[in-house]
Amino acid sequence: MQVRRIPLSRPFISDEIRQAVLGVLDSGRFILGPQCQQFERELAQFAGRTHAVLSSSWTAGVYLLHLAMDLRPGDEVIVPSHTAFPSIEPMLHCGAHPVFVDIDDTYCMDPELIEAAITPRTVGILPVHLYGHPADLDHIIEIARRHNLWVIEDCAQAHGALYRNRPVGSIGTAAAFSFYPSKNLTVLGDGGCVLTDDSAIAERVRMLRDHGRRSKYTHEVPGFNLRFNEIQAAVGRVGLRHLAELNAGRRAAAARYRERLAGVVELPQQRQWATAVYHMFVIRHPRRDELAKFLHERGVETGIHYPIPNHQQPAITARFRKIPALPRTEQAVREILSLPIHGQISLEEVDYVSDCIIEFAGRN
């Protein structure tokens, strides 16, 4: 077999994007200008929300969102441990406590475990639509309503995913997207967006991201400089127009992986009510590290998302005494492996990766 180089991900870059960037350079407007304003309107419409507020990153936007929703020291937020650390970072900066629950077989938060984790200090739930597969929101929302909790959807990996034919990000109290370069929708750099139907929350986040002001020289509260820029908004607007076709490319690649690797490795689950967008295509194998090395030697880049669950991160174990045991999460992180996938990956590339994995399985 001829060795090829297959990257784990590849951002969408086109001549249309290049022209959009040049247009901004010619405009002379660079911060929170017309491109940002239009991108916010388009994102709100895309996600079925009244308001979209851009920020410098997902982490920054959710930190401002927590402040706008009055998250306080000692408050508790229920969250999966199996997610990127930034899912919990903003709440930690607010002095709140993440309460970790285990995952189901979609790698999302298991809603059956939420109720037992609720205490008098619980104020909210933060489900993560991990790898582009929606969390089971109906169950989560029902629990939240019964206990008077808010729900923030972490949509960082799920642009365009549907939960029971509704866009993720349209269902909770609020939601947030990331535009990091590997995401389904990227702005070719850091960036994020908070979405909500609550006008007061949206206005508070807008003020906080821009030095606590509504007008240029009147600062109503102490804020931050966590603004978005025109170049990345122009890139994001082009990407948003092409998102459906790029997600279709991811789904086609996932279908081919399923066809080729059925019975060879453990494949990701997809619920009947979910339209997943495969930010990652994550398989499981008991000899994961050996398989990753085998693929690396054949030019195939892989990843582990994530090797250390958040409840075992040093930033958590040094800070909190009571750390739960999460057996499904702890087993998963020993076996998961992310395979190459992006919106423009070819089926020939998928076949090469699959052939390598089948060769490894045949040898072992």
pLDDT in tens, 103-160: 999 999 999 999 999 999 999 999 999 999 999 999 999 999 999 999 999 999 999 9
* Residue 52 · residue 44 · CB < 8 Å: yes
> First CA to last CA across the chain, in angstroms?
18
- With a pLDDT cut of 70, the percent of the chain lying above it is 100
**Whose CA is closest to 281, among 247, 325, 322, 312?**
247
Q: Which CATH number fits domain 243-363: 3.40.50.12780, 3.40.50.970, 1.10.3720.10, 3.90.1150.10?
A: 3.90.1150.10
- C-alpha radius of gyration, the chain, whole number: 21
State the chain's mean pLDDT as an integer. 97
The pLDDT-based confidence of 2 (bands split at 50, 70, 90) is confident
Q: Which CATH number fits domain 15-237: 3.40.640.10, 3.40.50.80, 3.50.50.60, 3.20.20.140?
A: 3.40.640.10
Q: How far apart are CA 48 and CA 39, in angstroms?
A: 14
CB neighbour list of residue 37: distance below 8 Å, 6 or more residues apart: none
Phi, psi of 134 (to 5 degrees): -65, 145
**pLDDT(323) > 90:** no
pLDDT in tens, 263-280: 999 999 999 999 999 999
- In which residue ranges of the chain is CATH 3.90.1150.10 found? 243-363
Mean pLDDT of 194-215: 97
**Whose CA is closest to 125, among 148, 92, 104, 95?**
148
What is the reported pTM? 0.97
Q: What is the pLDDT of residue 1?
A: 64
The pLDDT-based confidence of 315 (bands split at 50, 70, 90) is very high
The pLDDT-based confidence of 221 (bands split at 50, 70, 90) is very high
